[in-house]
Amino acid sequence: MKHAERERTQAATLPQGNIIRILLEQHAQIRELFVAVKASTGAPKQERFDELRELLAIHEVGEEMILRPVSKNTAGHEITDARNHEEDEATHVLAELEKMDVNSPEFETKLSRFEQAVSDHAEHEEHQEFPTVLAQRTEEELKRLGKRLLKAQKTAPTHPHPTAAGSPGMVKVAGPFAVTRTRRTLTTAETEAEVFAVSEQAAQGPSGASRKVNSTLRHAPSTPRPSGVGPSRSAKSTINASLTPNTVSESRYSPPATNS
Ligand SMILES: [Fe+2]
Ligand SMILES: [Fe+2]
């Protein structure tokens, strides 16, 4: 099973809004965007890379601000310091890639090395960090963390800021750069936030829930995305899952046994 597919399968075993579910889905999207960048040429390649850069930037900021303070206790300082260090390095490489011509051979070489580093980093998180958070926090806490993650990512900088990387405090200072974010970068994060609101309202009564579903669908991206690019497909499946009762298993996520 491919990495992205495995991550989506694991994510689907967790309840909507759970922070680890959201992060696993973002890992899958990041992997798919790497594939999409490599498969494109010309202007579309730049667009795919911009999507990848933005998702990576908000993903890592969210982890550093919301996940790390928790995993520092559940997994230990040594592990979280190592993850913060990897993210710091990734942010520097991402900032260098951002300045390059995406159609140059140099970009291709650097991107491939970067993809491997990002993949290794995700594996470390999924094996050493996520399982400890799932095991030591209640479902309620994990959903609350998921909500806070999505909120932080909505205002996170969408360009890499090497001086802020690896330091949650500095990441917060970089917040105002979020104004550069475009409509195109609407990701599962926002859809998940809407869907989570739907499930919360559904628990309170049917009328509020249907209003929220309509609002979610009205605000969905109006232009089709190229096939193979994660966000819109994932967003659709998330909405569908929210409309179908009992589609999400309550079983706990268990860490992957081996690399696929
Ligand atoms: Fe990370
Ligand atoms: Fe991650």
Q: How confident is the model at residue 156 (pLDDT cuts 50, 70, 90)?
A: confident
pLDDT digits (tens, 9 = 90+) for 226-259: 333 333 333 333 322 322 222 233 334 455 554 4
Rounded to the nearest angstrom, the distance between the alpha carbon of 28 and the centre of ligand 2 is 10
Q: Which ligand is nearest to the CA of 29?
A: 2
**Token couple for 53:** 């850069």
Rounded to the nearest angstrom, the distance between the alpha carbon of 126 and the centre of ligand 1 is 10
**Token couple for 205:** 């009564």
Check whether 132 has a pLDDT greater than 50.
yes
Check whether 211 has a pLDDT greater than 90.
no
Instruction: Say if CB 91 and CB 220 are below 8 A apart.
Output: no
- Residue 137 has a pLDDT of 98
Instruction: Say if CB 187 and CB 82 are below 8 A apart.
Output: no
**Token couple for 77:** 């300082």
Rounded to the nearest angstrom, the distance between the alpha carbon of 72 and the centre of ligand 2 is 15
Rounded to the nearest angstrom, the distance between the alpha carbon of 129 and the centre of ligand 1 is 10
Rounded to the nearest angstrom, the distance between the alpha carbon of 215 and the centre of ligand 1 is 31
Rounded to the nearest angstrom, the distance between the alpha carbon of 90 and the centre of ligand 1 is 9
Q: Any idea which of 23-37, 204-218, 237-251 has the lowest mean pLDDT?
A: 237-251
Rounded to the nearest angstrom, the distance between the alpha carbon of 215 and the centre of ligand 2 is 29
pTM above 0.75, yes or no: no
Q: Which ligand is nearest to the CA of 126?
A: 2
Rounded to the nearest angstrom, the distance between the alpha carbon of 87 and the centre of ligand 2 is 9
Rounded to the nearest angstrom, the distance between the alpha carbon of 209 and the centre of ligand 2 is 31
pLDDT digits (tens, 9 = 90+) for 164-205: 555 554 444 333 233 333 323 334 444 444 444 434 444 444
Rounded to the nearest angstrom, the distance between the alpha carbon of 40 and the centre of ligand 2 is 24
Check whether 135 has a pLDDT greater than 50.
yes
pLDDT digits (tens, 9 = 90+) for 86-125: 999 999 999 999 999 999 999 999 999 999 999 999 999 9
Contacts of 194 (CB under 8 A, 6+ apart): 212, 215, 216, 219
Check whether 9 has a pLDDT greater than 90.
yes
Rounded to the nearest angstrom, the distance between the alpha carbon of 218 and the centre of ligand 2 is 30
Q: Which ligand is nearest to the CA of 68?
A: 1
**Token couple for 193:** 């936030």
pLDDT digits (tens, 9 = 90+) for 36-73: 999 999 999 999 999 999 999 999 999 999 999 999 99
Alpha helices in 99-205 (DSSP H): 105-124, 130-136, 139-154, 168-173, 188-204
Q: At what angle do helices 3-12 and 19-39 cross, to 10 degrees?
A: 160
Rounded to the nearest angstrom, the distance between the alpha carbon of 199 and the centre of ligand 2 is 25
Rounded to the nearest angstrom, the distance between the alpha carbon of 156 and the centre of ligand 2 is 15
Rounded to the nearest angstrom, the distance between the alpha carbon of 84 and the centre of ligand 2 is 11
Taken in order of first residue, the domains within the chain and their CATH numbers are 3-243 (1.20.120)
Q: Which ligand is nearest to the CA of 87?
A: 1
Instruction: Say if CB 212 and CB 198 are below 8 A apart.
Output: yes
Contacts of 41 (CB under 8 A, 6+ apart): 103
- Residue 1 has a pLDDT of 62
Q: Which ligand is nearest to the CA of 23?
A: 2
